[in-house]
Amino acid sequence: MRSFADLPEYDDGVAVTMQMARASMTNLGVIGTGQFALSFIGGLRRGGYDGKVLLAPRNADVAGTLARKHGCMVARSAQAVLADADLILLNVRPEYAEAALANLRWERRHTILSAMAGIRIDDLRALLPGVGGIHLIMPGSYIETAPGPLPLYPPAPGLMPLLSCTGM
């Protein structure tokens, strides 16, 4: 499979290859396996990310599709995702966020990428006590098929090796 490292405009692939190697050491957990999760994981895989992706089982159809299509693993529960992943993509519908996330045991080692529209960082801090970092990410379904920007706030240089796989 071709990756961004194969494209000439990426410095003969050296820098991108190094970033992908660092990204592949990141275990990504996903809570909320909806359309953006399909696009995001598809974009990561297309861009060369071959690390472990753990999915919460709530949406069994989408989780099953991701497992078959992109080599993801479906966990027993959302808590099992947190046990095995340090970077967590939250893709829960905002109206279900509190019910889906409030009773989970969050740790300082967890870094959150929230794709939940309309939920501010301050609200996430209250909902996810003890997490190490929280970042907002703007979903874009185009990243599954073509590289493109993926807005992130606040900036996080440590997340760039992973996010660069989407073409960011």
Q: Class assignment of domain 4-166?
A: alpha beta
Quick one: pLDDT at residue 104?
Answer: 95
**Could you count the other beta carbons within 10 Å of the beta carbon of residue 73?**
14
CA distance 88 to 129: 14
Quick one: pLDDT at residue 164?
Answer: 85
Quick one: pLDDT at residue 70?
Answer: 94
Is the pTM here over 0.85, yes or no? no
Quick one: pLDDT at residue 168?
Answer: 60
Expressed in angstroms, the distance from the first to the final Cα of the chain is 19
Q: What stretches of the chain show up as alpha helix (H) in DSSP?
A: 14-23, 35-46, 60-70, 78-84, 97-101, 121-127, 160-163
- Residue 166 is classified by DSSP as G
CA distance 98 to 94: 8
**Could you count the other beta carbons within 10 Å of the beta carbon of residue 6?**
13
Mean pLDDT by 10 residues, the chain (168 residues): 43 43 73 89 89 92 92 96 96 93 94 93 94 88 69 90 80
CB crowding 136-160: b at 16 or more within 10 Å, else e: bbebbeebbeebeebebeeebeebe
Burial of residue 129 (number of CB atoms within 10 Å: 0-12, 13-18, 19+): exposed
Domain parsing of the chain, residue ranges: 4-166
CA distance 96 to 94: 5
